[in-house]
Amino acid sequence: MNQVVVTGMGAVSCLGNDVPALWDGLIAGRCGIAPLTRIKADDYRNKLAGQVAGVDEPPGNDASVRFLLRAAAEALDQGGIDEGARRKIALVLGTNFGAMAATERLLSGKADNADVALAEGVTGCVAGRLRLGGAQMTLSLSCASGNAAIGRAADLIRSGRAQMALAGGYDAISDVVWAGLCSLRAMSATAVRPFDKRRDGTIFSEGAGLMLLENRDHALARGALPLARFLGYGTSSNAFHMTHPDEDGAGMARAMRGALQDAGVAPEAVEHINAHATGTPPNDRLETMAIKSVFGERARSIPINGIKSMLGHAMGAASALEAIATVMTIREGVIPPTIGLEESAPECDLDYVPRAARKARVGVALNNSAGFGGCNASVLFGRWEI
């Protein structure tokens, strides 16, 4: 099978609208969560969110489309992709809700932006605007969507069906999205504190994260500089409950083991884990159990972070943004911190890189994600070395 490398990345998040802004914010331990303004906060129980600011072009377009176009432009630019090369690029997008504000308008009988009212329309619209000529694919594994899209896009390249793919996830806050998330009562009124004793929920956010994935030989032949290697991924289902995690973290463990097996990498090689770490009491406890079950005693010596403490939970974009952070950690030798972690809960007894970023040489790193419906997706990245 072909080897896959990452040759470009683009990010839009509540920490800023490109990868440098995201990375600077993460290593500084800056929190992007603020009072909700995108929709009328008075109507909702939860009034804090991680929101994107300043991505207003092209006007008249749905927020999801705007986020994606901005992130894609950055990833294609970093990848050194000219107009001609765009003809070969596939687009693989994952999302929870597509362009939900546009969907709401369609459901209210309004016709503007109706062409993106379903997720497949968003993919087609973005591919059209960017003049990407490759295959289009749309998938949805709720909050594991970004990782699932990156993994499936890599499959297309490994099997020779594509040479290059722009892949990742996105979502935007809207009335229906926020009403639904508030109704589940899984959100904190104050902060996301992964693994902390006081953790009491997550806080949702929005954004887009995209990676340009490429056949290694293709990248080298055109003189592109790989940022990292994509090593493998795994997906799984808890097969347990639609909104509650399974009782022992076995589903997340299956996804992690799947990624290791897919990559042909031994657990001993993993030097960092970017955790799903939502800050909800069950997730962080079960993810800790899952990590222990996969890595055994070695789990205690693997630095793990939960960057939703800064980014919030960006739904379909979350694992894609975290994948970008994982690649940056491998490249820069810095692990962003888990902020808000003052005192670890007794059931969360691993090294979560609390409070401040840490320097560390990381050769292989795992990015975890999980979502509603009980789905999980983990992706493994490795350092690019010639």
Partner 1 sequence: MGQGVVITGCGVLASNGIGREAFAAALAAGKSGIGDLVSFDASALGREKAAEIHGFDVAAYLRSPKNYLDRNSALAFAAAEMALRESALAVPDLAREYGLSVGSMGGNFASLALFHAKLAEKGPRFAPPFLFPHTYYNATAGLLSIEYGLSGPHGQFCSGPAAGMEALAYAVDCIRWGRTDAMIAGGVEAFGESLLSYCASKGWLSPGISLGACGTAAPGCAFPGGEGCLPFGLVANGTILGEGGAFLCLESADGVRVRKGKARGRIRGIGMGACAEEAISGALRDAEVLKTEAVFASASGRPDDDREEAAAITKILGNRPIVALKGLVGETLGASGPMNLIAALTALESDMLPGSGAEYEAFPVNLVRAPLSKTVNSILVNAGSGKPGAWVSVVVTR
Shortest reach from residue 130's CB to partner 1, in Å = 11
Q: Does 321 interact with partner 1 (rule: CB under 8 A)?
A: no
Closer CB to partner 1, residue 139 or residue 335? 139
| Residues between 33 and 92 with contacts to partner 1, criterion CB under 8 A | 43-45, 90
Under the binding rule (CB under 8 A), the answer on residue 386 touching partner 1 is no
Nearest to 312 by CA among 302, 323, 322: 322
Q: Is 178 exposed, middle or buried (0-12, 13-18, 19+ CB in 10 A)?
A: buried
- The residue from 31, 218, 272, 276 that is catalytic is 276
Q: With binding defined as CB under 8 A, does residue 356 bind partner 1?
A: no
Closest C-alpha among 380, 249, 363 to residue 322: 380
Is residue 272 among the annotated active site residues? no
Closer residue to partner 1 (CB): 27 or 318: 318
Burial (Cβ within 10 Å: 0-12, 13-18, ≥19) of residue 351: middle
Q: Which two tokens stand for residue 269?
A: 């090689």
Instruction: From 77-85, 251-259, 299-307, 351-359, give the range in contact with partner 1 by CB under 8 A.
Output: 251-259
Residue 31 Cβ vs partner 1, minimum distance, rounded to whole Å: 25
CB-nearer residue toward partner 1: 205 or 235: 235
Binders of partner 1 in range 138-167 (CB under 8 A): 138-142, 148, 152, 155-156, 159, 161
Tokens of 8: 């470009």
31 is catalytic: no
Tokens of 12: 């839009």
Of 61 and 138, which has the nearer Cβ to partner 1?
A: 138
Contacts of 169 (CB under 8 A, 6+ apart): 93, 94, 95, 145, 146, 147, 149, 208, 209, 315, 316, 317, 318, 319, 320
What are 63's two structure tokens? 């927020």
The CB-of-139 to partner 1 minimum distance in angstroms stands at 5
Catalytic residue among 14, 31, 125, 143: 143
Q: Return the bridge partners of 7, or none.
A: none
Phi and psi of 323, rounded to 5°? -65, -40
User: Alpha helices, DSSP H only, in 229-343?
Assistant: 250-263, 281-295, 308-311, 318-332
330 contributes a contact to partner 1 by CB under 8 A: no
Minimum separation from the CB atom of position 267 to partner 1 (A): 18
**Which positions from 86 through 125 interact with partner 1, judged by CB under 8 A?**
90, 95-96, 98, 103-104, 106-108, 111, 114-115, 117-121, 123-124
The span from the CA of 353 to the CA of 325, in Å, is 14
Residue placing its CB nearer to partner 1 in the complex, 234 or 382: 234
- Among 10, 25, 32, 134, the residue binding partner 1 under the rule CB under 8 A is 134
Candidates 357, 376, 382, 384; binder of partner 1 (CB under 8 A) is 376
Q: Least distance in Å: CB of 124 to partner 1? A: 6
Tokens of 86: 């765009």
Report the C-alpha dihedral over residues 290, 294, 298, 302, rounded to 10 degrees.
Answer: -60
CA distance 85 to 62: 27
Does residue number 247 form part of the binding site for partner 1 (CB under 8 A)? no
Q: Enumerate the H helices of 7-141 as residue ranges.
A: 19-28, 63-78, 100-107, 119-130
The pair of structure tokens assigned to 360 is: 């560390």
Instruction: Identify the residue among 83, 84, 242, 386 touching partner 1 (CB under 8 A).
Output: 242
- Work out whether 372 is an interface residue with partner 1 (CB under 8 A): yes
Q: Does 254 bind partner 1 (CB under 8 A)?
A: yes
**Residues with active-site annotation:** 143, 276, 313
